[in-house]
Amino acid sequence: MFFCIHFSIDKLPIAKFMLQVNFIRENKERVLAGLATRNYKGERLAIVDEVLALDDRRKSTQTALDAMLANNNKLSKEIGGLYRQGKREEAEGLKAQVESQKGKVKELEATMRQIKTDLTNGLLEIPNVPHPNVPSGNSDEDNEVFQDWDKELLDLGETALPHWELGKKYNLFDFELGVKITGAGFPLFRGKGARLQRGLINFFLDEAAKAGYEEIIPPLLVNEDSARATGQLPDKEGQMYHATKDNLYLIPTAEVPVTNVYRDVIINEKDFPIKMTAHTPCFRREAGSYGKDVKGLNRVHQFDKVEVVQIVHPEKSYEVLKEMVKHVENLLIKLELPYRVLTLCGGDLGFTSALTYDFEVYSAAQKRWLEVSSVSNFETFQSNRLKVRFKGANKKTQLAHTLNGSALALARIVAALLENNQTEEGIKLPAALHRYVGMEVID
């Protein structure tokens, strides 16, 4: 099975040397085309012109304000000098002059604040520009198969049990207890089921370490700044659990705390690439998704995941994306699970992502593909908010590119492992896991 990433990165005007507004200004057509890929139509496209108009106003207002302030500063200095020389009357005259300007300065400052607020709000509404390889489309049905499973799909016949039945049969997890303790969507794992979870986590972390990622154990609650910096706020407000008393959010993914490690940091170019991995539970309210795919472990409010994050030089990011895809692929090969890779279409692509590959694993009992990993390049979209920068060879401060991927998300992997490997004698674990789980067969 070979991987061939067929896009060229050289010809793209990547947003690497500018801030977002400037990027929009200089690549307006590309931004509009990107919005179209994401199914933005008519009035929603107007946001681009609105933002540019606001930015024009910001510039002209700033110029006017600066000139006024410069004049006032100059006069104030003169007043100080005059007082020292004892020239009171002249000083009083200048004072009056500066004083008369104050109203105007205040007015301009207020205008400036308003413009900046509007501009920021406008910018927050514009999603990342999709990579040219992103197919247009409305929903997950339009995602493109980037790499298909080229062998026969496992057929277990009609007697195969879905994982929620297997969980009961072998006493691996208990949804009713989860409901009793917390509520729907909070599974309780026990016995060999818990052991399997722990083994998988260790396996994933060890593989990440082998690939050069530094292991991090981050806080599981983050403050508003961190949630905003990685883009969970404001657009995913309702998807996170919010501890309102302390205004902290339960993390929906390790990406949030781990990427925030480098918020407001100017990185030394020779420290690239920065590679971090973390295992954390992930908490998701999944508001609005009830009734769809919620059976068993397919969609839960709390699940465990090992995440990999990289912060890299802009010129390297697509190469790194490929490397990360390979890493995930390698995990699935070792787990001996049938998988395929999808390129997310515009309508399904995350707000912050430029290009995302989803990994799906085939669940033989449910006879369907389950999403188990998502690997994305955010280019400068995240780093612009995070202010993750580096000094390049030309001494200029530039935005770095950020990427992340799940490697891997547990609940669905567990589902697929159980279903695909069920036999009369029990569930036969893939060889790679024997050492980690401490058994070859779950029975």
Partner RNA sequence: GGAGAGGUGUCCGAGUGGCUUAAGGAGCACGCUUGGAAAGCGUGUGUAUGUCAAAAGCGUACCGAGGGUUCGAAUCCCUCUCUCUCCGCCA
Q: What is the closest distance, in whole angstroms, from the C-beta atom of residue 59 to RNA in the complex?
A: 4
Q: What is the closest distance, in whole angstroms, from the C-beta atom of residue 432 to RNA in the complex?
A: 35
Q: What is the closest distance, in whole angstroms, from the C-beta atom of residue 117 to RNA in the complex?
A: 11
User: Which helix (H) or strand (E) is 110 found in, with range?
Assistant: helix 88-125
Q: Regarding beta strands 266-268 and 389-391, do their DSSP bridges make them parallel or antiparallel, or are they unpaired? A: parallel
User: Which amino acid makes up residue 138?
Assistant: N
Report the residue number, 1 or 53, with the smaller CB distance to RNA: 53
Report the residue number, 190 or 387, with the smaller CB distance to RNA: 387
Q: What is the closest distance, in whole angstroms, from the C-beta atom of residue 114 to RNA in the complex?
A: 11
Q: What is the closest distance, in whole angstroms, from the C-beta atom of residue 20 to RNA in the complex?
A: 9
The helix/strand/coil state of 148 is: coil
Report the residue number, 41 or 84, with the smaller CB distance to RNA: 84
Q: What is the closest distance, in whole angstroms, from the C-beta atom of residue 225 to RNA in the complex?
A: 9
Report the residue number, 15 or 331, with the smaller CB distance to RNA: 15
Sheet of 422-423: strand order equals 422-423, 426-428, 441-442
Site residues, RNA (CB under 7 A): 19, 58-60, 62-63, 65-67, 69-70, 72-77, 79-80, 83-84, 95, 98-99, 102, 106, 113, 266, 389, 391, 397
To the nearest 10°, the Cα dihedral for 394, 309, 323, 236?
A: -100
Report the residue number, 329 or 379, with the smaller CB distance to RNA: 379
Q: What is the closest distance, in whole angstroms, from the C-beta atom of residue 397 to RNA in the complex?
A: 4
DSSP state, residue 389:
E
Closest C-alpha among 120, 401, 121, 409 to residue 262: 401
Phi, psi for 370 (deg, rounded to 5): -115, 135
Report the residue number, 44 or 59, with the smaller CB distance to RNA: 59
Report the residue number, 33 or 68, with the smaller CB distance to RNA: 68
Q: Regarding beta strands 242-243 and 214-216, do their DSSP bridges make them parallel or antiparallel, or are they unpaired? A: unpaired
Q: What is the closest distance, in whole angstroms, from the C-beta atom of residue 233 to RNA in the complex?
A: 16
Phi, psi for 141 (deg, rounded to 5): -70, -20
**How far is residue 402's CA from residue 70's CA, in Å, rounded to a whole number?**
39
8 A C-beta contact, residue 129 and residue 354: yes
Report the residue number, 72 or 133, with the smaller CB distance to RNA: 72
Residues sharing a CB contact under 8 Å with residue 255, sequence separation 6 or more, in sequence order: 230, 307, 309, 404
8 A C-beta contact, residue 22 and residue 46: no
**How far is residue 329's CA from residue 317's CA, in Å, rounded to a whole number?**
18
8 A C-beta contact, residue 216 and residue 278: yes
User: Which helix (H) or strand (E) is 340 found in, with range?
Assistant: strand 339-343
Q: What is the closest distance, in whole angstroms, from the C-beta atom of residue 119 to RNA in the complex?
A: 11
Report the residue number, 240 or 308, with the smaller CB distance to RNA: 240
